[in-house]
Structure 1
């Protein structure tokens, strides 16, 4: 075989290997992808049941209810258009509170409610960790 044909064969094999690796990666990620829905999307219907998705919105004021077992909560997520009841069992993030943003990972139930397996509390751009906020107050008092 000539050197020119060897190079061409190696180049074709390399391209085939890269395409094969990309297809394997995409097929593996397809099962891990979680789609994002807002409560307004739920109102329209057509929610995937039993599939991992994310539900995002604001925690409605007065909707957080802690259950007697001590680790389960129920609350309502809203986007101003619709409301979705959410049930979660686990440790709640420190930033989770009423009238704050939340992204709940989990799945929809046939009745339109949502069962969360993980909660991600969102904060605004003004958020500052308590440790830093305390040090800033100390610095301001030292400057005066």
Structure 2
């Protein structure tokens, strides 16, 4: 017997979704409880079942998290997403604002990287680190 795929009628179990997404089952349940992940459909036995859309959504959520978006904003985005097309402008504004913060952070990191490179260059020129 093969395990269900996201396209099968049974979908993915929470364990399979955890494995494919890189999240723990605990994290998936937390995201569902927090309103970030829509409540899963249930199989006849009552176990959670997820589909390919859930995998894609989780990949996007993880990208937002990776780029430093606060959970409260991810939750707000998820709520607007669940409401449909009427919230497209709000979602756009939220993503644009996050993009601006990310660009500012990248500038700070670029300056810090340059300062480190400058200091490393000094140490590479002289054994005692003096110019």
TM-score interval, smaller chain? under 0.3
Q: Whose radius of gyration is greater, 1 or 2?
A: 1
- Give the TM-score normalised by structure 2: 0.27
- Give the TM-score normalised by structure 1: 0.25
The structure where strand makes up a greater share of residues is 1
The structure where helix makes up a greater share of residues is 2
